[in-house]
């Protein structure tokens, strides 16, 4: 699915890419321009402390995407946008935050339930073999690292590299249901061994 910038849209949307599900180019309704304005305002007000303001990041404009989304049952569904903002950019990880705003202008920051893990290494040495990985809790996180969102399936994926080689990482997948993102898959590769050998710690069907 290729993000597009619809022609003839208000100036506020001129720097936003709006992917259209199914690959077809749809008309952008007037409510979307107002929705993105609401999302931008809320983003400025609720910017997490460890995020860099957009004006200080050269790549912030390239990361602006507003994804079509919908709420509710088929008979009472309402349209919405999932609006993406760049939060931080490092050598091998980029993090993003999201604002959800519906066709009535109701905007809210999006939180993602994220497992917290404890890794046990042989002899307490992180370069040694992994003896065990335990989920110790869950936190609601604003940030999604190296995010990839699929509008068709309404799933968000995070690929958090623990170092540039990417042989150690965590992979999380959420699905949007009942007005929120719910965790579906969580795997961790905690071994710094140059190999791709993750352990799946959560696997659940939310649909």
Given a cut of 50, whether residue 12 has pLDDT beyond it is: no
Based on the fold, state whether residues 48 and 128 are members of the same structural domain.
no
Given a cut of 60, whether residue 79 has pLDDT beyond it is: yes
Based on the fold, state whether residues 3 and 103 are members of the same structural domain.
yes
The predicted model scores a pTM of 0.86
How large is the average pLDDT for residues 154-162?
Answer: 98
Band (77; pLDDT cuts 50, 70, 90): confident
Domains held by the chain: number? 2
User: Residue 29's domain spans which residues?
Assistant: 1-110
Q: pLDDT at position 72, please?
A: 74
Model confidence over 128-152: pLDDT tens digits? 999 999 999 999 999 999 999 999 9
Which of 76, 110, 144 is the C-terminal boundary of a domain? 110
Based on the fold, state whether residues 134 and 81 are members of the same structural domain.
no
DSSP one-letter string for 50-102: TSPPGGG-TTTGGG-EEEEEEES-GGG-EEEEEEEEEEEE-SS-EEEEEEEEE
Based on the fold, state whether residues 96 and 133 are members of the same structural domain.
no
Given a cut of 70, whether residue 37 has pLDDT beyond it is: yes
Task: Out of 18-22, 45-49, 90-94, pick the least confident.
Answer: 18-22
For strands 94-102 and 107-109, give the pairing. antiparallel
Based on the fold, state whether residues 2 and 101 are members of the same structural domain.
yes
Contacts of 151 (CB under 8 A, 6+ apart): 1, 19, 21, 67, 68, 69
Based on the fold, state whether residues 46 and 133 are members of the same structural domain.
no
Based on the fold, state whether residues 50 and 82 are members of the same structural domain.
yes
Given a cut of 60, whether residue 118 has pLDDT beyond it is: yes
Q: pLDDT at position 23, please?
A: 38
Q: pLDDT at position 70, please?
A: 87
- Mean pLDDT rounded to a whole number for the chain: 87
Based on the fold, state whether residues 34 and 94 are members of the same structural domain.
yes
Based on the fold, state whether residues 121 and 77 are members of the same structural domain.
no
């Amino acid at each position: 699915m290729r993000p597009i910038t619809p022609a003839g849209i208000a100036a506020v949307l001129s720097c936003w890419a709006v992917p259209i599900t199914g690959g077809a180019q749809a008309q952008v309704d007037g409510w979307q321009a107002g929705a993105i304005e609401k999302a931008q305002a809320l983003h400025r007000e609720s910017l997490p402390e460890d995020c860099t303001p957009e004006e200080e990041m050269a790549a912030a404009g390239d990361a602006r995407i507003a994804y079509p989304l919908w709420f509710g049952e088929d008979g009472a569904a309402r349209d919405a946008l999932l609006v993406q903002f760049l939060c931080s950019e490092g050598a091998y990880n980029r993090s993003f935050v999201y604002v959800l705003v519906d066709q009535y202008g109701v905007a809210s920051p999006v939180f993602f339930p994220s497992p917290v893990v404890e890794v046990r290494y042989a002899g307490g040495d992180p370069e040694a073999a992994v003896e065990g990985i335990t989920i110790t809790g869950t936190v609601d996180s604003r940030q999604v690292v190296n995010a990839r969102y699929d509008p068709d399936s309404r799933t968000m994926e995070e690929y958090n590299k623990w170092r540039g080689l990417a042989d150690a990482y965590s992979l999380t997948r959420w699905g949007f249901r009942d007005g929120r993102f719910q965790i579906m898959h969580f795997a961790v590769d905690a071994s710094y061994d140059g190999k791709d050998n993750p352990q799946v710690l959560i696997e659940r069907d939310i649909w």
